[in-house]
Amino acid sequence: MLDQANNFHRNIKLVRQIGRSIPFLDVFIENNSGTLKTSVYHKEAAEPYVVAFGSDHHSHVFRNTVDTSITRAVRYSTTLAQFEEEIRQMKLRFLYNWYPPRYIDWRLSTLFSKYLSKNPILRTLNTSDGFDY
């Protein structure tokens, strides 16, 4: 079946891989004694470039770029430590592309305040146990 899928299109190739962890698209999936853990996957050869803040794009492009990175971190991180590491890497990536630190923090607080107002249970997230819940 895998051979048939690989013959479908010359630019799409699937690889057989057996193990406890696997990258799939933007997600890194790990089987830890029967418990699946996920985190954001970054290809080793990937460059740290996103749309430069000083470029001639509409403001919604910059906003969407940051919001998408934050949303990806929230959705794919199984633990609070993974989430915090992804946010740290995200901030460095955006600083590298000339995003002002205040802009990054503003997008973080705006996005989270939107979710916090809808979900009062999220206000109690102080530990990794709460993050798991």
Dihedral sign for Cα atoms in the order 25, 61, 51, 11 = positive
pTM comes to 0.77
Within-domain flag for 23 = no
How many independent structural domains does the chain possess?
1
Q: Of 74, 56, 72, whose CA–CA distance to 64 is shortest?
A: 72
Within-domain flag for 28 = no
Instruction: Return the pLDDT at 67.
Output: 96
Per-residue pLDDT 10s for the chain (133 aa) are 888 888 998 887 888 878 899 998 899 999 988 899 999 999 988 899 999 999 999 999 999 999 999 999 999 999 989 999 999 999 999 999 999 999 999 999 998 887 766 766 555 565 656 565 5
Name the residue range of residue 79's domain.
51-132
DSSP H or E run through 31: strand 27-32
* Cα–Cα dist 77/2, whole Å: 29
Within-domain flag for 112 = yes
